[in-house]
Amino acid sequence: MEEYKRIDFRDQIASNKRKSFFLALTVFVFIVLLGYVISFAFDPGSFFIIMIISIIFSLSYTLISYYNSDKISVMSVGAKKANRSEYKDYYNIVEGLTLASGLPMPELYIMPSNQINAFASGRDPKHSVICVTEGALAKLDRRELEGVLAHELGHIGNYDIRYMTLVAVMVGMVAIISEMFLRSLWFKGGGEDNKAGAIFMIIGVVLAIFAPIAVQLVQFSISRKHEYSADATAVKFTRYPKGLIGALKKIKQDYSYESREKKVNKAIAPLFFASPLKNFTSTHPPIEKRISALERM
C-alpha cells in the first residue's frame, strides 16, 4: 500500500498562494494579449477609448458589489442573523477560533437548508460574515462544525474574498472586451487590402471566442486552490484535521448529485464550503482529494 508523504499545513498554504498568483497572472496575460491583437485589427485610438469606458463601468459595478459583498451574499440566500441565546454553541465555537487565530469576530448568520454547508464573505476581516446552514448545525458534531467554521475563518484571514474579487474583475474585463470586439465586426467595413490586418482579425476572433472560456476555467482553478488553502488554514487554527475530515465525509454522504439543492446563485457558489452546484467546471476540488490532503497533514 502506497505510503503518503506527510504535508505541513504551512507548506500547503504557501504552495496554494504561489499557484493562485500564477493563475491570476495568466488571466492578466489574456487581457493584454487580447487587447494587443484587437488594437491591430481595428483603429487603436477608437478601440481603447471604448475599452477604457467599459473598464470604468465594470470596475465601478464591481467595487460597489465588493464593498457590500457581505450584505449581498446573506440576502441572496435568505439568511438571517443568528441569535446568540438560540445559537450559543455556534457563537462559542467561532469566538474560540477567533482567539486562536487573532481574527476579529465576524457577524454570524443562519441559512435555511437541510444540507451541510457554510460560507464566508466580506471585503476584509473587520467587515466579514460567516453563514452556516441549519443542516450543518443539526448534523455535525462539535469538532466537525469547528473544522468547517475554521475553514471559513481561513478564507477571511487569507483575504480570499478580496483576491477572488480581483480575479472576477479581470475575468469580467475579458468577457466585455471579447463581446465588444465580436459585436463591432458587424459595423466594420470590408474591402481593405491589408493581409496583416486580416490575419490579426482572424486571431482576434479566435481569442475573443476562446479567451472568456479559458479565463473562466482559470477562475475556477483559482477557487479550487483557495479551498485547499482554507482547509490547511483550518488545521492551523484547530490543530485537529480529523474534525474537518469528518465534516467532509458527512457532506459526501449528504450530497448526492440527484438531491443537491439548486437555490444558490452561481455568482456566490465559489464562496461555499462545499459546492452547491453540479458542474464539470466545479469551483471546488473533489471531496476525496480534500480528505486525502487533510489525512497527510
Q: What HEC string does the chain produce? A: CCCCCCCCHHHHHHHHHHHHHHHHHHHHHHHHHHHHHHHHHCCHHHHHHHHHHHHHHHHHHHHHHHHCHHHHHHHHCCCEECCCCCCHHHHHHHHHHHHHHCCCCCEEEEECCCCCCEEEEECCHHHEEEEEEHHHHHHCCHHHHHHHHHHHHHHHHCCHHHHHHHHHHHHHHHHHHHHHHHHHHHHCCCCCCCHHHHHHHHHHHHHHHHHHHHHHHHHHHHHHHHHHHHHHHHHHHHCCHHHHHHHHHHHHHHCCCCCCCCCCCCCCHHHECCCCCCCCCCCCCCHHHHHHHHHCC
What is the per-residue pLDDT for 291? 92
What is the per-residue pLDDT for 249? 93
Residue-number span of the structural domain to which 252 is assigned: 1-297
Along the 297 residues of the chain, how does pLDDT read in single tens digits? 344 455 565 665 666 567 667 766 776 677 677 666 666 666 656 666 756 766 676 667 667 777 787 888 888 889 999 999 999 999 999 999 999 889 999 999 999 988 899 999 888 888 899 999 999 999 999 999 999 999 999 988 888 777 776 666 666 667 777 776 677 666 555 545 556 566 666 766 777 777 777 767 776 777 788 888 899 899 989 999 999 999 999 998 877 644 555 566 666 777 788 877 665 457 788 889 999 989 987
What is the per-residue pLDDT for 205? 74
What is the per-residue pLDDT for 108? 97
Catalytic residue among 144, 146, 152, 227: 152
What is the per-residue pLDDT for 280? 47
Q: How many domains does the chain have?
A: 1
* pTM, to two decimals: 0.74
Q: Determine whether 152 is an active site residue.
A: yes
